[in-house]
Structure 1
């Protein structure tokens, strides 16, 4: 049907209209609304459309399908579009502008919803996100330390404590950052942090200082975050003079063995019934390593052929130090139960039910399980904490106050008697080079370190009254079933 032979569209004609066979489409024009047409395709789809002329050109705008639009609604829409064209407006551009405005309103609404959400987001929520985002860049211990800082506390202390008069274990206290968990991030102002610092400094200034430093790093991360940066009241609310003064300066630790104390310390430590703990403590002193580095030493890290120990440290990732004769004899005397050098017997002999029975037995007696017998860390298969045994040995030797890290400090201090080069001691202990020559030029091989390290060990054992091994330890390590 030609455009000149129009018909008045009715519901019946719309329903009966089809596309003739052999055609790709067919049109039916309305006489009541000359700019309205009905289009049909071979598939049976029928749609209303507007057609008019704008600036000498024909334009066509789809209105909708006959199932979505009634005939009267389609006529009204065609009239609206004709009015636009008559006033010089292009309906297509008007529709684009309308859609753009609609999308802009949606974005603004979404932004407002997000702003409202962020306005109330708590410190604890962002802290959790921060830990997950940084986890792959941290070691397991560093991550666990951050988790501990925000713990709620209230859990029974597992070891190394006396029962209360009521026969219960004392409860753990909340982490220093726990009081801040529910504080909205935008309300974490310098004044809020300073008040927190004053309160925490009353009971645990040392731990609070560590948490404060971690809090500053966290807020630096927030300052670089696209969402959280605008919530901060200042560049870093925790970085204030008052907070630093409230927490005070850390006291200089000076616990270290003197030359004349070596004999009583070795005597007390070698008398410890647990040979793994005794060997661990002596290895700490004679290697100058960090306590955690020695705890996680594995048999694959012990190279008896080239007499080296691979230490996994927090500075370089790992370092190789000499395996000195006495330390080699200590390690060879240990049973090789699993992959860990300082293995935990309880991890091998006690299942969870056995642990519960032992705990219940000690509870009935009004005591606690001995340190090292029932520990959370024993499930790892290696020794987790020898502090209690070391404190007992030091008390026996009259050396109260000497810590495990004090043994690392002792190693560095005792080398002064031998005029050992500072760079050698730093390389053995895993300290960062402190001079340009050490950092960029000096590379000491293992054999050169061994010359100095064996000399240190011999001098320490001489003043401790401990004989050096007379026979070099064998290269084989026995396996204990």
Structure 2
């Protein structure tokens, strides 16, 4: 083995002879150090014997290592050999450790990115989108308002999977201590539903796949007791109902009731229907031949709204027929002005300009205005609905028929799979009896002189 003192110039001139795979130029200064040349590269190598076995370790390319550093590395490797250590094993361990460190860094970065992306706010948004896709736009709007008002920025920006029960409890407690008992209970319910949806998403194909990435394995809301909704017990007396109807009919005013008042009247005469469902009714939902109005009930856990048919009594049917004519007339006039053919499909029954349906808040605000004008104990549209059912019970209308008429409590195996009866005759009879009861209430006595009429907003 010929040796000579390596210099940068000798290394530069050293090449692999033609017809050979590799050639070595050994150093005189560091005897175990050599330059290995192949057809396409040159590198520093170290070679020694350990337990009668030849050990060769590649130090690195001559372009990346200078000669002094290569000699220092060769001496270090010789020290390892002298101590009975195999430098190759140590190199593999270093490479493995470096690879593990790199993988850990990538995992940490991925986790940081995931945490920055999959926050509580993002979870709430994904859950709201799922509600909207399921046709529960009203629930989504209510939940969005609660999340926006009552989840602080610090908590909203936390990774959803790291949110604790203590943090959720603090959010709910703050709302409750502000005197908003119902809002606190609803906030807890929506947060619980969002976490539960993400928790079940990996296993439930009915849930959106974008919830899986949040990695939710437990629901922090489970530890927080539900807040019982205070049951309403307010019902209107016959006298209060008489005054309520009088305000809506605008007795003494030549113009008659405004559209918002018609909505309140129809909800009453149609058996105490939910206002949000009634306001979504369209011209095509009314069958004039059978005087039947079709509503869609999307409340509860239904994935698809339930068809809710109302065989109206004469007075309510006349109100709806007038609304249909009003919508058609407005569309005809608008089409004439715009130089197009009228499009009667999809016309809203309750719409000021025909473009969008009336907002339920508009109706609720009007009901509050009427309540203030009547005076006495406050009431709202839910109390009107409760009053209707209470009076229907007083008329001897069965619980099953009332449930069908007001579209509530219709669930369970029997209702979902076996009871296919439409209850059309029972509902029509109930509504006829109800209109007779309202007529009797209105005619029972003259309106009190101290009740003043409110002008429509």
TM-score (norm. length: structure 1): 0.63
Aligned to 2:352: 345
Report the equivalent of 1:404. 381
Q: By percentage of residues, which structure has more helix? A: 2
* More moved, 387-396 vs 73-82: 387-396
Alignment pair present for 1:136 and 2:113: no
- Give the structure 2 partner of residue 332 of structure 1: 324
SS of structure 2 residue aligned to 1:465: helix
1:166-196 deviation per Cα after TM superposition (whole angstroms, max 9, x unaligned): xxxxxxxxx4555985999999785995797
Q: Secondary structure at the match of 1:345?
A: coil
> How far 1:403 sits from its partner (Å)?
1.4
Match of 1:276 among 231, 245, 259: 259
* Worse-superposed segment, 314-323 or 47-56: 47-56
Is the 8 Å Cα contact of residues 289 and 429 (structure 1) preserved in structure 2? Answer: yes
> Which of 428, 431, 437 is the equivalent residue of 1:463?
437
Q: Taking structure 1 as reference, are residues 190 and 412 closer, same or farther at Cα in structure 2, changes over 3 Å only?
A: same
1:457, CA displacement in angstroms? 2.0
Between the aligned partners of 1:321 and 1:18, the Cα distance in structure 2 is 91
* Cα separation, 2, equivalents of 1:276 and 1:26: 99
Relative to structure 1, the CA distance from residue 305 to residue 35 in structure 2 (aligned partners, 3 Å threshold; closer, same or farther) is farther
Quickly say closer, same or farther: Cα 1:408–1:50, change in 2 above 3 A: farther
* Higher mean displacement: 418-427 or 219-228: 219-228
Question: Which whole-Å CA distance do the structure 2 matches of 1:75 and 1:184 have between them?
Answer: 53
Structure 2 portions without partners, runs of 5+: 201-211, 332-344, 441-457
Cα distance in 2 between the residues matched to 1:435 and 1:96: 65
* Structure 2 residue aligned with 1:321: 308
| CA apart distance, 1:143 | 3.7
**Does residue 449 of structure 1 match 2:423?**
yes
Which whole-Å deviations, capped at 9, do the CAs of 1:133-180 have from their partners, x for residues lacking one? Answer: 4223334433433443355xxxxxxxxxxxxxxxxxxxxxxx455598
Going from structure 1 to structure 2, the CA distance change for 1:60 and 1:269 (only over 3 Å counts) comes to farther
> Displacement, 1:450?
1.9
User: What corresponds to 1:370 in structure 2?
Assistant: none
Q: Give the direction of change, closer, same or farther, for the CA distance of 1:145–1:41 in structure 2 (3 Å limit).
A: farther
Assess if the C-alpha contact under 8 Å between 1:308 and 1:320 holds in 2: no
Match of 1:204 in 2: 180
Residues 201-224 of structure 1: per-residue CA shift (max 9 Å, x gap)? 354334344335556667889999
Secondary structure of the structure 1 residue equivalent to 2:327: coil
Deviation at residue 55 of structure 1 after TM alignment = 5.3
> For the Cα contact (< 8 Å) 2:297–2:305, is it kept in 1?
yes
**1:389 to 2:374 alignment:** no
The partner residue of 2:91 within 90, 95, 102 is: 95
Deviation, 1:335, is 1.2
Q: Give the C-alpha shift of residue 459 in structure 1.
A: 1.6
Match of 2:276 among 281, 287, 292: 292
Q: Please, what TM-score do these two structures have when normalized by structure 2?
A: 0.66
Secondary structure in 1 aligned to 2:65? coil
Match of 1:10 in 2: 7
**What SS does the aligned partner of 1:412 have?**
helix
> Residue 71 of structure 1 corresponds to which residue in structure 2?
67
Aligned residue pairs, count: 393
2:393 aligns with 416
**Which of residues 225, 247, 254 is equivalent to 2:233?**
254
| Partners of 1:308 and 1:60 in 2: CA distance | 91
Counterpart check, 1:309 vs 2:294: yes
SS of residue paired to 1:329:
helix
**1-structure distance, mates of 2:157, 2:293:** 51
RMSD of Structure 2 on Structure 1 (CA) = 4.9
- Provide, for residues 51-96 of structure 1, a one-character-per-residue CA deviation record: whole Å limited to 9, x for no partner: 4455555454332221210112112223323333444433333223
After the TM superposition, which residues 22-37 of structure 1 pair with which residues of structure 2 at under 5 Å, given as runs? 25-37=22-34
User: Which sections of structure 1, spanning at least 5 residues, go unmatched?
Assistant: 152-174, 349-379, 467-481
Alignment partners' CA distance in 2, 1:74 and 1:27:
15
Deviation at 1:260, TM superposition (A): 6.9
**Contact 1:35–1:51 (Cα < 8 Å) also in 2:** yes
Q: Corresponding residue for 1:62?
A: 58
